[in-house]
Amino acid sequence: MNQQREQEALLAAQREQELRKQEQAYQENEKPPQNSDFRQLIGEICVTKVCEEQKQNMEDTMLEFLEVCRQKELYYMHNDVDGLIESALNSKLLSINLKSQHLDKEKQEVKNIVE
């Protein structure tokens, strides 16, 4: 069982390294990485200790973040997938915070009107 996990981890690490090389090549050619590459990487990273539904949710979330990056042209600002994901998460958190602040402001306005 441990050998299988070690082998899966090794394969995932090798695939991640391959994808990083591909990403660098894409950056040199100014072509963004394909979602299928990221989906495969995410799937390999998430292979252990995650049920299929959770794995699918994680893949969908990461692809949503990657789409945000693509829209904001963040691919060319990062040398690796980790930096790209971190930037996407920060962007998503900023968006959530702005929406939350807007809702708080509307709530306060309603409260003021009621009083």
Strands (E), 1-115: none
Tell me the pLDDT tens digit for each residue of 54-104.
767 777 787 787 777 677 665 555 556 666 677 777 777 788 888 888 888
**pTM over the 0.85 mark:** no
Averaged pLDDT for residues 2-31: 68
Q: What does the domain layout of the chain look like in residue ranges?
A: 2-114
Give residue for tokens 């996990």. Answer: 5
